[in-house]
């Protein structure tokens, strides 16, 4: 991995953050699309030159595809998560948001592999990635709250939360990416690693939700 790839990833991270700041002001799912078009074009340019980005994108796609059923469970069945804006009502989950989570997962994969190359310590690289995933998910959900989605709108129970984000959400992301050494064990194919990540992402989100649900009852 080279400095040029790091720069590409940092730029995408920055534009994604700026996009969600704009979302917090304008509150439309369509606000996400300029950043998606830019990211696809920007990464598309680098994919031809940097194999590591290809691996990360494959990882992100596989992880989010596997995770989607849990999101569907929270939003369509449990009604704990309400999406306020969607391009296609029948889909439930906004397509732009799904693509944004693919980018997020790809960025976390890159963070882990880059940290591992820098420090050659799997546990340290996993800790850095897990903390960034927890913080990043919190920032995204906090900025999008009441604009793209509402957590626990029915107020069925009082969940511990920080700035309107239920505590179990960033906690689940933190725990998910702490397990990166398992996903990428023995130079695992990125799709297989992504499937493993998606399974744990969904399971940890469900079980952390269940833990807090039981604890407040």
Reported as a single tens digit per residue, the pLDDT across 149-207 is 888 766 666 778 888 888 999 999 999 999 999 999 877 899 999 999 999 999 999 99
Pair 126, 72: CB distance under 8 Å: no
Cα–Cα nearest to 106, from 139, 45, 64 = 64
pLDDT at 87: 65
Mean pLDDT value across residues 8-35: 89
Cα–Cα nearest to 65, from 178, 195, 203, 200 = 195
Mean pLDDT value across residues 6-26: 90
Contacts 24+ apart (CB under 8 A), 92-99: 93/68, 94/29, 94/32, 94/148, 96/29, 96/30, 96/32, 96/33, 96/36, 97/29, 97/32, 97/148, 98/64, 98/68, 99/32, 99/36
Grouping H, G, I as helix, E, B as strand and the rest as coil, residue 167 is coil
pLDDT at 214: 83
pLDDT at 127: 97
Within the chain, strands assigned E span: 81-83, 149-151, 161-162, 165-166
């Amino acid at each position: 991995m080279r400095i040029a790839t790091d720069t590409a990833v940092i730029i995408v991270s920055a534009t994604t953050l700026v996009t969600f700041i704009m979302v917090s002001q304008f509150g439309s799912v369509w606000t996400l699309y300029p950043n998606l078009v830019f990211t696809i074009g920007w990464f598309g340019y680098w994919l031809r030159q940097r194999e590591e980005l290809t691996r990360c994108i494959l990882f992100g796609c596989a992880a989010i595809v596997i995770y989607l059923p849990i999101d569907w469970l929270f939003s369509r069945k449990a009604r704990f998560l309400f999406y306020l804006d969607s391009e296609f009502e029948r889909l439930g989950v906004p397509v732009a948001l799904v693509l944004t989570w693919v980018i997020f997962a790809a960025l976390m994969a890159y963070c882990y592999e880059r940290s591992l190359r820098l420090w050659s310590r799997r546990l340290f690289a996993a800790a850095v990635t897990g903390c960034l995933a927890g913080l990043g998910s919190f920032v995204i959900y906090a900025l999008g709250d009441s604009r793209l989605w509402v957590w626990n709108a029915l107020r069925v129970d009082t969940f511990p939360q920080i700035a309107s984000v239920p505590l179990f959400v960033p906690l689940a992301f933190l725990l998910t990416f702490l397990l990166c050494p398992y996903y990428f064990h023995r130079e695992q194919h990125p799709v297989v690693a992504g499937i493993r990540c998606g399974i744990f992402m969904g399971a940890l989100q469900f079980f952390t939700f269940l833990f807090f649900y039981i604890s407040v009852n």
